[in-house]
Amino acid sequence: FCCGMDLKEAIPAMTAGDSLGYDDPTKRQFSDVFKPIIAAVNGQGIAGGLETLLHTDLRIAAEHARFGIPEVKRGLFAAGGGTRLPARIPLQMALELGLTGDPIGAQRAYDLGVVNRVVPAAELLSAARALAATIAANGPLAVRATKELMWGEIGESDTAAHGQWAARVFACDDAREGAIAFAE
């Protein structure tokens, strides 16, 4: 999947005191992508790879996949989002991953809620496509509103945004047609 930054290439910038763009802990990758992002992990999600994975919406992993934030083993810390892991899994488990730097397997990642599903490698892409098709069958405006509001809940709640989305979604044709179809 991804093993993060090339540390050999980063050494000159680190030596010069550069924060490598990790100076804003609230910055979220893919924040300008309004369609759901489904990750299909067929390998390792290590360091920046796991942090990138944490910014996706849904995650499917092959049984052999491994995940970890080993930055402490290199005298670094998981600055690309790994330190926000306690917002998603129990604190003690996030601390174990972050403080030991040891990776976990796909099943353990599933048990912790880091990935949504674990499937045999041969079924990975078809499982991701099936999940995408299920989402694509829903109202696009409703999907976008749900994604943006749920990601917003990880940070601070924004009641104004919630109200704006409610006004847009409940007035759209998809919502009206969906309600009529359900009633019929």
Which amino acids are annotated catalytic?
A: 51, 71
Backbone phi, psi, residue 165, to 5° = -65, -40
Distance CA 167, CA 165 (A): 5
CB-CB contact of 131 with 38 (8 Å):
yes
Backbone phi, psi, residue 163, to 5° = -65, -40
The full DSSP string for 80-147 is TTGGGGGGTS-HHHHHHHHHH---EEHHHHHHHTSSSEEE-GGGHHHHHHHHHHHHHTS-HHHHHHHH
The residue written with tokens 């996706």 in the block is: 56
The closest alpha carbon to 78, from 53, 58, 115, belongs to 53
CB-CB contact of 165 with 153 (8 Å):
no
Within a 10 A sphere around the Cβ of 183, how many other Cβ atoms? Answer: 6
